[in-house]
Amino acid sequence: MPGVCFEGRVCCHLSHRPSSPPSQAGACWGLLFWPSLPLLLLPAAPAPHRAPYKPVIVVHGLFDSSYSFRHLLEYINETHPGTVVTVLDLFDGRESLRPLWEQVQGFGEAVAPIMAKAPQGVHLICYSQGGLVCRALLSVMDEHNVDSFISLSSPQMGQYGDTDYLKWLFPTSMRSNLYRICYSPWGQEFSICNYWHDPHHDDLYLNASSFLALINGERDHPNATAWRKNFLRVGRLVLIGGPDDGVITPWQSSFFGFYDANETVLEMEEQLVYLRDSFGLKTLLARGAIVRCPMAGISHTAWHSNRTLYETCIEPWLS
């Protein structure tokens, strides 16, 4: 049979029965397999390592508590096992009526250490009034590392509607005259007045609103440039809402739409805060960082417990 000769004097004949003496035959077969030995000795390649899921921080809304989000926690644990989820237990129940800047400070102190332990970033899921608290946090926190800010049925452009909680709080006032209370120094001590937006009294809103007009950049203030820069650190803005909400009025406020003076809803792209890019909306949309997820058939108190909504609008962004 033909043989293979290596450098030197050893030649090996390829046969099942070596014709050379045993010692020489062993050397020959060893030499033949020597080039592949390093491959045989190498350890198996490790299985691809999937990065852990980013921590999730949940901020509740008006009159809520952490208990309201038990279903949402179950869904996240099922679809993203191992995710660290923190539902912040602050300003529960009636305490949620505290002025929003006070709440921003409290929630900010709670989220800062969570962010510090997660250099890869965090996700915010913020419901109803909590969505405004979170947007303010994104504005005032210089080093936040929020990957996805998920605004869950939040009145981002304000509220102008006769809802049950307003009738309970202000039984003698309707939406048409509530501005008399909300646009007073006393009224601004209530969280809901901080984002009350009467389209028929825009001048009073701009002058009196101590919260929404500021984070919207509708009124000049010395921190406007820094707040816009901070807000634009967010990786993605996910907006969720729908026509059957029953509380957010108009419901398009969840998508930065709102009434004009004739109570015709103007969409986000028609709003002055967008056209002027006063706090970064236009820039976010231009870079493809805004996701809008409208869902019909969901009432206001069911957004955080509806499984279909979770799978469609929330789960895809929890990387």
Residue positions annotated with a catalytic role: 128, 245, 300
Question: Beta strands of the chain (E only): which ranges?
Answer: 3-5, 11-13, 56-59, 85-87, 122-127, 146-152, 236-241, 258-259, 265-266, 290-294
On the CB side of 179, CA atoms within 13 Å amount to 17
Taking alpha carbons only, the member of 264, 131, 288 closest to residue 200 is 264
3-state SS of 98-137 is CCHHHHHHHHHHHHHHHHHCCCCCEEEEEECHHHHHHHHH
Strands 265-266 and 258-259: antiparallel
DSSP state string for 137-165? HHHH-TT--EEEEEEES--TT-B-S--HH
User: How many Cβ atoms sit within 10 Å of the Cβ of residue 203?
Assistant: 8
Residue with tokens 């962010």: 115
First-to-final CA distance of the chain: 62
On the CB side of 184, CA atoms within 13 Å amount to 7
Q: Is the dihedral of CA 229, 231, 237, 243 positive or negative?
A: negative
DSSP structure class, residue 5: E
Containing 299, the helix (H) or strand (E) segment is none
